[in-house]
Amino acid sequence: MNITEKILASHCGKKEVAAGEFILADVDIALGNDITAPLAIEEIEKLKAKSLPHPEKIVLVADHFTPNKDKESANQCLKVKNFAKKYNVKNFFELGCGGIEHALLPEEGFIMPGNLIIGADSHTCSYGALGAFATGVGSTDLAFAMLSGKIWLKVPESMKFVYHGKLNDWVTSKDLILYTIGDIGVDGADYKAMEFEGEVIRKLSVDGRLTMCNMAIEAGGKSGIIAPDKITLDYIKQFKVPKGKVGIFESDKDAKYANVKEYDVGKIEPQVAFPHLPSNTKGVSEAKNINLDQVVIGSCTNGRLEDLRIAAKILKGKKVHANTRTIIIPATQKIYLQALKEGLMEIFINAGAVVSPPTCGPCIGGHMGVLAKDEKCLATTNRNFIGRMGDKESEVYLGSPAVAAASAVKGRIAHPEEVASRKKKL
């Protein structure tokens, strides 16, 4: 079996499972946010449930329209908060202690290798970076998981993606995943587990691996996953992990895959996804004279500390372009505080950028950076669909924190080398 099949078998009481098989599996973590959890709550309230069997396995995060942008979003958050109190859900995170869910959960030690995590948010697939099976579900599925501790799944086929060689200057995990999505298309891994491996993946930090797995859904993937190794185990050492919580799985050499793709990363330059699909990728050198009204560095894809450090390397001692408003969004409060201690916030503010509290806001066109008609934005987010960040006649381009920071300085989509000295290369 491959790693995905082994994890799923371990969660449904079987010695083995195969792609296409339907299973009822035990859930380790069930996640909801201020948009998706209220719908699940409504279903639970219809059934008049007096209690939940495993409240400790539920995590609720207010992050999409927070800080509350209007009375509707405020009521959504209040509904989740009241539900957490009523059903003794201790893991409720909002302003002051929280952040963007897919950065917050790994940071707080909720995600362990070998776990099965479901979340009513498509980018739940991020957690495969730590060797877990993680996938997005609908709100009614979340309600079922909260009520029963289980989830109904079809075992997905797996695709293997192997990355060889040495990364070029300023090429990051965001560029690898954009390039991959550009190669296979937005439905190239439809309902498949995307398994990432190779010497390049093994050298990525946990932050970089989270970025890779985060965007598996943009290729139609059911999940993204990287087998745990020393980097994974070193990362989870910081948490007090209950005995039996960790399961170390890896794929057998004779495991079956729907397809295997191999890439020489030395042929990849920093990437940009053009409107209006994440698969519409080109090398940054092909982005000629595309002026920008806005740059956003943040989101569950690229709002982690490593991302902010990369942006700060480029922005230090420089100013963002007068015509390009630049918004920096640390993904969690802890990331915000560490960036403050390291002097990154001073660099951003001196450069003329605005620093926002942790929020999904602009990524979904919610607030803190909504686009007007005909405006163009380069963002480190994960989707650039029509109207994704605001007006339907705006345009969103996707790139890495390095490309975003360089573009903010130039006022147009730019290669990091146009701004940063070679001494500051990654």
The residue from 263, 283, 298 where one domain ends is 263
What is the total count of domains within the chain? 2
- What confidence score (pLDDT) does residue 197 get? 97
Give me 184's structure tokens: 């296979």
| Domain span including residue 91 | 3-263
- Whether 200 and 299 map to the same domain: the answer is no
Q: Are residues 196 and 276 in the same domain?
A: no
Q: What is the pLDDT of residue 243?
A: 65
pLDDT tens digits in sequence order for the chain, 426 residues long: 999 999 999 999 999 999 999 999 999 999 999 999 999 999 999 999 889 999 999 999 999 998 998 999 999 999 999 999 999 999 999 988 889 999 999 999 999 999 999 999 999 999 999 999 999 999 999 999 999 999 999 999 999 999 999 999 999 999 999 999 999 999 999 999 999 999 999 999 999 999 999 999 999 999 999 999 999 999 999 998 776 688 899 999 999 999 999 999 999 999 999 999 999 999 999 999 999 999 999 999 999 999 999 999 999 999 999 999 999 999 999 999 999 999 999 999 999 999 999 999 898 888 989 999 999 999 999 999 999 999 999 999 999 999 999 999 999 999 999 998 655 566
Same domain, 307 and 201: no
370 and 279 in a single domain? The answer is yes
What pLDDT score was predicted for residue 420? 83
Q: What is the pLDDT of residue 175?
A: 98
Say what the pLDDT of residue 97 is: 86
Q: What are 12's two structure tokens?
A: 């449904």
Report the C-alpha dihedral over residues 199, 204, 208, 213, rounded to 10 degrees: 40
pLDDT of residue 425: 62
User: Which helix (H) or strand (E) segment is 326 a member of?
Assistant: strand 325-328
Indicate if 193 and 335 belong to the same structural domain: no
Q: What is the CATH number of the domain that holds 31?
A: 3.30.499.10
Assess whether 48 and 191 both reside in one domain.
Answer: yes
* 228 and 351 share one domain: no
Answer for the pair 341, 305: CB distance below 8 angstroms, yes or no: no
Same domain, 326 and 239: no
CA distance linking residue 102 with residue 161, whole number of Å = 23
Residue where a domain stops, chosen among 263, 278, 299: 263
Residues 258 and 296 in one domain: no
pLDDT at 353: 97
151 and 63 both lie in a single domain: yes
The tokens for 82 are 């009241």
**pLDDT for residue 426:** 63
How far apart are the two ends of the chain, measured CA to CA in Å?
37
Q: Which helix (H) or strand (E) holds 158?
A: strand 157-164
> How far apart are alpha carbons 92 and 273 in whole angstroms?
35
Same domain, 29 and 96: yes
* Same domain membership, residue 133 and residue 49: yes
Using the 3D structure, point to which of 263, 294, 316 is the last residue of a domain.
263
